[in-house]
Amino acid sequence: METVTQFAPEEAADPIALFRAWLDEATETEPNDPVAMALATATPDGHPSVRMVLMKRLDERGFSFYTNVESQKGRELLENPRAALCFHWKSRRRQVRVEGVVEELSPQDADEYFHSRSHKSQIGARASQQSRPLASRAELEQAAQTCAEQYPDEVPRPDYWRGFVIVPARIEFWQDGAYRLHDRIVFERSNDSWTKTRLYP
């Protein structure tokens, strides 16, 4: 794997390798959740929304995460399979922006990850009707209790709990610079290779 310990755009040919290096460095200094990312989606007619989620895997396909497809973001991902991400590592004064198409992960992949979570997290995922109106906190806690009694051991993954991967077409790296002279470099995919361009800050 290509090793990059600083911004060094002239040395970076593979944006995924550069991202991994930045993530490794952020893992050492971020106080909480270096894999947290802002996920932006939009309705088919272009109404955007954004929220924080956790990246669960980075591989040759792209950036993967899991969600309830009956939630707002889930519906938007299915109806308009394009999305953008932003990682912000304040401790490193860096951010990475990702844009690309969205593909659904296989049911087997979703099963594997779902059952890697704690039993209580599985119960929470099954009990929550994500993004729908909730009368009270007590109602949610009762739903979780009922679900826990129904599934004391194995919790079946609900069909609505699925995984997605954002296949990157564009990845931009931003490094804070003195007097607003920031470093910005963008990688854009062209077939199976990447082109690299430096941008004005």
Which H, E and C letters describe 118-187, residue by residue? CHHHHHHHHHCCCCCCCCCHHHHHHHHHHHHHHCCCCCCCCCCEEEEEEEEEEEEEEECCHHHCCEEEEE
- Tell me the chain's radius of gyration from C-alpha atoms: 19
pTM score, two decimals?
0.90
For residue 70, give the H/E element and its range: none
Please tell me which residue in 82, 97, 162, 180 is annotated as part of the active site: 180
Amino acid at 151: Y
Distances (CA, A) of 48 to 45, 69, 149: 9, 17, 39
Q: Rounded to 5 degrees, what angle do the CA atoms 89, 82, 132 make? A: 85
Half-sphere exposure of 170 (CA within 13 A, CB side): 13
Per-residue model confidence (pLDDT) at position 6? 56
Domain boundaries, the chain: 9-106+162-199, 116-156
State residue 8's pLDDT score: 67
Q: What is the pLDDT of residue 11?
A: 75
pLDDT at 124: 93
Q: Looking at the structure, give the CATH architecture of the domain made up of residues 9-106+162-199.
A: Roll (2.30)
User: How much is the pLDDT for 5?
Assistant: 47
Encode the chain (201 residues) as per-residue pLDDT tens digits: 344 445 565 678 899 999 999 999 999 999 899 999 999 999 999 999 999 999 999 998 999 999 999 999 999 999 999 999 999 999 999 999 999 999 999 999 999 999 999 999 999 999 998 888 999 999 999 999 999 999 999 999 999 999 999 999 999 999 999 999 999 999 999 888 999 999 999
Query: 180 an active-site residue?
Result: yes
